Structure 1
Amino acid sequence: MSTLHMPVSADDHVAGNPKAPIVLVEYGDYQCPACGAAYPLVQQIQQKFGDDVCLVFRNFPLVDMHPQAQSAAVVAEFAAKHGKFWEAHDALYENQRSLGESFYVELVNSLGLSSDDLKQAMQTDAFEQRIRRDIDSGLRSGVNGTPTFYVNGERFDTPGGFNDLPQVLEEMLRPTR
């Protein structure tokens, strides 16, 4: 079993209670169909477990397979710079089949952000270093596909894959609930 190489920090995208008994780290790709399938499950986990689970998202765009993955990650990071990461993250997954420049412009405009500033960020690779840091931390942690989850620093691998997450988290929390 592999462990999370880079600990969760203030630089991460965190939803929920950072002091939660369970920290769930996801390495994801916004164009990955499996990540899209995991997205509603992660939302259910957040709703069901509330303050007992802290969610962390890290970019891991698989650009060889998903031509919009890198651009979508840039859109999410651009939104994050303006305090709107989770809104962009959710919209990207909820509109996975629409990913592309016209959708990105529509999305940032709906968030009250400047599409011109987004275009500038895309042209200048403004978030390349941030995204590269996530990818590098994933590679050092043994990520070789998406989505890859870590629960309290340990890679989550079960025969049922991410579909087993709710049950495993429930079992982990049972003594404290």
Structure 2
Amino acid sequence: MRLQIMTAAAALMALTACSGQSTVKAPDSVDGLTKQQVEAIVKEYLMREPIVLAEAFGELQRREEQQKVAAAENAYKQVKLSADDPVLGRPDAPITIVEFTDYNCGYCKLATNWVLNQVDDRRGDVRVIIKESAVRGSNSEMAAAAALAAQKQGKYREMHVALMKVPANAYTPEIIDQVGKSVGMDVTRMRTDMNSKEVREAVKASISDYEKVGLEGTPSFFINGVYVGGFGEQHLNDIVKQARDKVKT
């Protein structure tokens, strides 16, 4: 009995210590032992079995991640997809992946091939909506504006992919013009559209959506509403498969 009490007390102390929120008050005595004696026994137990702390911390992290995912998915319900949002793939595909991205994000660049593989899959059941959440400075906004300007010339995919190949933080007006020219754009028209109120407001709207959802980094994905933060290819594949299985049923 005493061992059970000590084990429970140790686990409880570990959890509350890890969270920094010790909300449970220790009793004055336990099984005939004083509070001070129990605390000494618990301390000795934790020193002897530190794995308890590691397990408790792991459980705390798991719970915090669950809360983070739930909060993001709930906030995402407030995001309204616009007909002007760039779409890759079949517009009426049953699986929708919304990607919040930034051209200065290294992991976004790594994720590009995965994104293209989804929309190019022979099943044709995935579309990707890009949210140009340019949160990494003014040259991120400039690159995002260029991509949206390319959409007006029917060159969004080409421009998006080409911009992702440019090293992070290397975007300058000259580089943007070179990339636009390389994908066959009318650069003069592109510049005009980049500076238009419509495009500037579209970039701001995507940034606002990013902030509204409470995202902390890019890329961030919502696959039929299921949140995946960061680029973990296997995890993303698993969520797409789950979405595909639900569509079939």
> TM-score per shorter chain, which class?
0.7 to 0.9
1:149 and 2:221 aligned: yes
Q: Which moved more, 1:125-134 or 1:69-78?
A: 125-134
Q: Matched residues in 2 for 1:40 and 1:112: separation?
A: 21
Given the superposition, is the C-alpha separation of residues 111 and 7 from structure 1 closer, same or farther in structure 2, using an over 3 Å criterion?
A: same
Aligned to 1:31: 104
Given the superposition, is the C-alpha separation of residues 139 and 110 from structure 1 closer, same or farther in structure 2, using an over 3 Å criterion?
A: same
Letter in 2 for 1:80: Q
Given the superposition, is the C-alpha separation of residues 112 and 43 from structure 1 closer, same or farther in structure 2, using an over 3 Å criterion?
A: closer
Q: Matched residues in 1 for 2:153 and 2:198: separation?
A: 14
Aligned to 1:63: 136
Given the superposition, is the C-alpha separation of residues 114 and 20 from structure 1 closer, same or farther in structure 2, using an over 3 Å criterion?
A: closer
Given the superposition, is the C-alpha separation of residues 79 and 144 from structure 1 closer, same or farther in structure 2, using an over 3 Å criterion?
A: same
1:87 and 2:166 aligned: no
Q: Matched residues in 2 for 1:82 and 1:131: separation?
A: 17
Match of 2:121, SS state, is helix
Aligned to 1:162: 232
Aligned to 1:17: 90
CA RMSD of aligned residues (A): 2.5
1:78 and 2:149 aligned: yes
Aligned to 2:182: 110
Aligned to 2:204: 132
1:121 Cα shift? Answer: 4.6
Give % identity: 25
1:23 Cα shift? Answer: 0.4
* Ranges in structure 1 where 5+ consecutive residues have no aligned partner: none
Q: Matched residues in 2 for 1:102 and 1:126: separation?
A: 23
Structure 1 or 2, whichever has the larger Rg, is 2
What TM-score results when the alignment is normalised by the length of structure 1? 0.83
Q: Matched residues in 2 for 1:120 and 1:72: separation?
A: 14
Letter in 2 for 1:27: F
1:84 Cα shift? Answer: 1.2
**Higher relative CO (CA 8 A, sep ≥ 6), structure 1 or 2?**
1
Q: Matched residues in 1 for 2:125 and 2:193: separation?
A: 36
Given the superposition, is the C-alpha separation of residues 47 and 83 from structure 1 closer, same or farther in structure 2, using an over 3 Å criterion?
A: closer
Given the superposition, is the C-alpha separation of residues 126 and 9 from structure 1 closer, same or farther in structure 2, using an over 3 Å criterion?
A: closer
Aligned residues: 173
* Ranges in structure 2 where 5+ consecutive residues have no aligned partner: 1-69
Given the superposition, is the C-alpha separation of residues 49 and 173 from structure 1 closer, same or farther in structure 2, using an over 3 Å criterion?
A: farther
1:27 Cα shift? Answer: 0.5
